[in-house]
Amino acid sequence: MFKQANWNERLIFNLGRKGRRGHVSPKAEEKIKRIVGDVNMLIPMSMQRKSQPKLPELSEVEIVRHFTRLSQMNYGIDSGLYPLGSCTMKYNPKINELLANLPAINMVHPYQAEGTVQGILEILYKLERWLAEITGTYEVCLQPAAGAHGEFLGTSLMRAYHKLNGEIEKRREIIVPDSAHGTNPASAVMAGFNVVVVPSDEDGCVSIEALKTAVSERTAGLMLTNPNTLGIFEKNIEEIAKIVHEAGGLLYYDGANLNAILGKARPGDMGFDIVHMNIHKTFGTPHGGGGPGAGPVGVSEELAKFLPVPRIVFDGESYHLDYGRPHSVGKMRSFYGNVAVLLKAYAYILSLGFEGLKEVAEVSVLNANYLAKKLEKIKGLTLPYGGEKPRKHECVLSAKHLKSETDISALNVAKRLLDYGLHAPTIYFPAIVNEALMIEPTETFEKEELDRFVEAMRKICEEAYTNPEVVLKAPHNTAVSRLDEVKASHPRTMALSWRMHRKKNEQNL
């Protein structure tokens, strides 16, 4: 059985010896020192650092070993199935890493003269065009650093649009379905809007009746994920778009689930005005334990003038950065975007082409439906919102019966899965499903690995009925056993840095 490494690796501050060092930076040449004189004399006494920062002191060897050991106490997509729903944990091609680590991109400064950065500008320009083609939008902006950052740009665009129309004082509301990602309502608030929640109907789709009641002259827009977080396609999208547009609102597409419809259907064609994409989901760039990602935003022709500056333009001969956009919302961040990440997306699209991207979508959908069908047969699990409807990229199962019959919760199942060397699904989301297990296999995993997952789920549910103790006390095979997450957030025990930890220890002595 799976057994994760556990090195009992101490905090880096408790390793090493005073005086050891891991790296020597270049020094100022002797002549420079002679001419400039003692550099410390240049800094006013009041601004000099009095005591050295308490950074660790280790040799290069010890540092490499420390972090190598830590990496072995971690689980990545290269380790095995990672079925986190709505997170699209797919394979991250190695060639893309190689390309993104070339000096020809690493060592380029963003303010270099345009003539010296034509290569990267061409890549970014073409990527914008390809993403616009894939999403059916008019223009794409690469600036946002993450999906939520793209959402914030999206809600800022709504703000700019209604402001220019003189309606921003009136249009204060953004509508989100109850099954939406948490970032949607949070992003609406970031741009100063209030949130109106519409419920899902018995099919797991936006309730058309509720939407009709929710829209008004106060509506700035609707944020929708399609396919939604249940993995179900919002089949009434045409009507939804009509209702929102007739009320004067804009339609926003949360691209977290774009993987299912790559090359099959396009948000722009369905009437969405603003679309964000998660490059680190759909376009195969690594999540890096939480980032960096990239969250480009595509818009309709009408909204293009509001996009952040600069825009990359091509005059037929060379590429330029255009800052002359009077209606632009401004800047979401410094410079142009997470370029090293975007470069990987460029290579990803090149490696797959149109046919390959379509294959990505089809196989991811096949895999999700395969898992849905197999898993719903397991005692204790159900597939809410109808087993007959096809799912798209993900499926959401409920462990409600398991919980009521055995007291084993979705959380327990998740923790026990880790013991099998499998990552857990997203749990307790969307909130409209009790004891939710939200599963997105992506196109990455072979049938054999999917079957291994189904088999592990079957065994765990069986254990729940026959030997619940082993599930309740899981995980057993990970680097550490079940952690006390409450303690980590409790004011009395909270230690958010080594410094704070030391302080707490002293207080408790």
Partner 1 sequence: MLILTVNLLIKRSHPYIPNSLPEIKKEMMREIGTESIDELYADIPEKYRLKKPLKLPEALSEFEVKKQVEGLLSKNKTCSDMPVFLGAGCWPHYVPAVVKEIVQRSELLTSYTPYQSEISQGMLQTLFEYQSMICELTGMEVANCSLYDWSSALGEASRMAARLTRRNEILVPKIVHPERLATLQVYAEPAGIIIKQVAYNKETGQISLEDFRNKISDKTAAVYIENPSYLGFVETQVDEMSRAAHAHGALFIVGVDPTSLGILKPPGDYDADIVVGEAQPLGNAMNFGGPLLGIFACRDDLKVIRQMPGRIIGMTTTLDGNGQGFCMALQTREQHIRREKATSNVCTNEALCAVASAVYMALLGPEGLLELGDTIMYKANYAIHLLSKIDGVKAPVFKSTHFKEFTVNFDGARLSVKDVHEKLLERGIHGGKNLSKEFPELGKTALYCVTEIHSEEEIERLATALEEILAGGEKRHV
**Interface with partner 1 by CB under 8 A: which range of 210-218, 394-402, 439-447, 460-468?**
439-447
* Helix, strand or coil, per DSSP, at residue 274: strand
Task: Among 337, 378, 381, 464, indicate the residue that binds partner 1 (CB under 8 A).
Answer: 337
Output the smallest distance, CB 465 to partner 1, in A. Answer: 24
Can you tell me the distance from the alpha carbon of 257 to that of 391, in angstroms, rounded to the nearest whole number?
A: 12
Cβ partners under 8 Å of residue 432, min gap 6: 178, 179, 200, 204, 230
Task: Among 1, 26, 317, 324, indicate the residue that binds partner 1 (CB under 8 A).
Answer: 26
Task: List the alpha helices (DSSP H) in 136-223.
Answer: 147-164, 183-190, 208-214
Find out whether 396 and 229 touch, Cβ atoms under 8 Å.
yes
Told to check if 1 binds partner 1 by CB under 8 A, we report no
The label of the residue with tokens 């799912």 reads 391
Cβ partners under 8 Å of residue 281, min gap 6: 87, 88, 90, 147, 256, 258, 259, 293
Q: Which of residues 47-76 bind partner 1 (CB under 8 A)?
A: 47-50, 52-58, 60, 63-64, 66-76
Told to check if 211 binds partner 1 by CB under 8 A, we report no
User: Cβ atoms within 10 A of the Cβ of 509, count?
Assistant: 5
Find out whether 365 and 260 touch, Cβ atoms under 8 Å.
yes
Q: Which of 433, 351, 339, 437 is nearest to 394 (CA)?
A: 437
Quick one: DSSP state of residue 254? Answer: E
The label of the residue with tokens 């089949």 reads 235
Size of interface with partner 1, in residues (CB under 8 A): 211
Q: Which of residues 81-120 bind partner 1 (CB under 8 A)?
A: 82, 84, 87, 89-93, 95, 97-113, 115-120
Output the smallest distance, CB 225 to partner 1, in A. Answer: 14
Output the smallest distance, CB 253 to partner 1, in A. Answer: 13
Nearer to partner 1, 421 or 466 (CB): 421
Output the smallest distance, CB 232 to partner 1, in A. Answer: 8
Nearer to partner 1, 339 or 470 (CB): 339
Q: Which of residues 215-274 bind partner 1 (CB under 8 A)?
A: 232-233, 235, 237-238, 261, 263-266, 269-270
Q: Which of residues 134-173 bind partner 1 (CB under 8 A)?
A: 134, 145-149, 151-152, 156, 159
Q: Which of residues 176-195 bind partner 1 (CB under 8 A)?
A: 181-183, 185-193, 195
Q: Which of residues 352-391 bind partner 1 (CB under 8 A)?
A: 352-357, 359-360, 362-363, 365-367, 369-370, 373-374, 389-390
Can you tell me the distance from the alpha carbon of 7 to that of 69, in angstroms, rounded to the nearest whole number?
A: 7
Output the smallest distance, CB 122 to partner 1, in A. Answer: 6
Find out whether 425 and 117 touch, Cβ atoms under 8 Å.
no
**Interface with partner 1 by CB under 8 A: which range of 215-223, 247-255, 395-403, 489-497?**
489-497
**Interface with partner 1 by CB under 8 A: which range of 211-219, 401-409, 457-465, 482-490?**
482-490
Nearer to partner 1, 85 or 248 (CB): 85
Per-position x/- string for 288-317, each x denoting binding to partner 1 as judged by CB under 8 A, each - no binding? xxxxxx-x----------------------
Q: Which of 97, 142, 182 is nearest to 332 (CA)?
A: 142
The label of the residue with tokens 């009434």 reads 236
Told to check if 9 binds partner 1 by CB under 8 A, we report yes
Task: Among 248, 255, 380, 475, indicate the residue that binds partner 1 (CB under 8 A).
Answer: 475
Task: Among 204, 248, 249, 284, indicate the residue that binds partner 1 (CB under 8 A).
Answer: 284
Find out whether 287 and 293 touch, Cβ atoms under 8 Å.
yes
CA 318 to chain centre: 33
Q: In what order do the strands lie in the sheet with 426-427?
A: 395-398, 436-439, 426-427
Phi, psi of 355 (to 5 degrees): -60, -40
Task: Among 198, 250, 329, 433, indicate the residue that binds partner 1 (CB under 8 A).
Answer: 329
